[in-house]
Amino acid sequence: MEMTLQKLMEQIRSGKKHNIILDTDAYNEVDDQFCIAYCMLAKEKINLLSINAAPFLNSRSTSAADGMEKSYQEIFKVVKLVDETTEIPVYRGSTSFLKDKNTPVESDAADNIINTVMNSEEPVIVVAIGAITNVASALIKCPELAKKTAVVWLGGNALHHWHNKEFNLRQDIPAAQVVFDSGIPLLQVPCAGVCTEFVTSVPELKQHLSGKNALCDYLVENVAEECAGYPTPVAGRIIWDVTAAATLICPEYCNMVEIPRPIVTSDGPYATDTARTHYIYVRSLNRDRIYNDLFQKLTSK
- Domains of the chain (ranges; CATH) run 5-198+239-290 (3.90.245.10), 200-238 (no CATH)
| pLDDT tens column, 119-130 | 999 999 999 999
In order, the DSSP letters of the chain are: ----HHHHHHHHHHT--EEEEEEE-TTSSSSHHHHHHHHHH-TTTEEEEEEEEPP--STT-SSHHHHHHHHHHHHHHHHHHH-TT----EE---SS--SSSS-PPP-HHHHHHHHHHHT-SS-EEEEE-S--HHHHHHHHH-GGGGGTEEEEEE-S--TTSS----HHHHHTHHHHHHHHHS---EEEE-TTTTGGG-EEEHHHHHHHHTTS-HHHHHHHHHHHHHHHTSSS--SEEE-TTHHHHHHHH-GGGEEEEEEEPPEE-TTSSEE--TTSPEEEEEEEE-HHHHHHHHHHHHT--
| pLDDT tens column, 132-168 | 999 999 999 999 999 999 999 999 999 999 999 999 9
What global pTM score does this model have?
Answer: 0.97
| pLDDT tens column, 70-118 | 999 999 999 999 999 999 999 999 999 999 999 999 999 999 999 999 9
Q: What integer pLDDT is reported at residue 232 of this predicted model?
A: 80
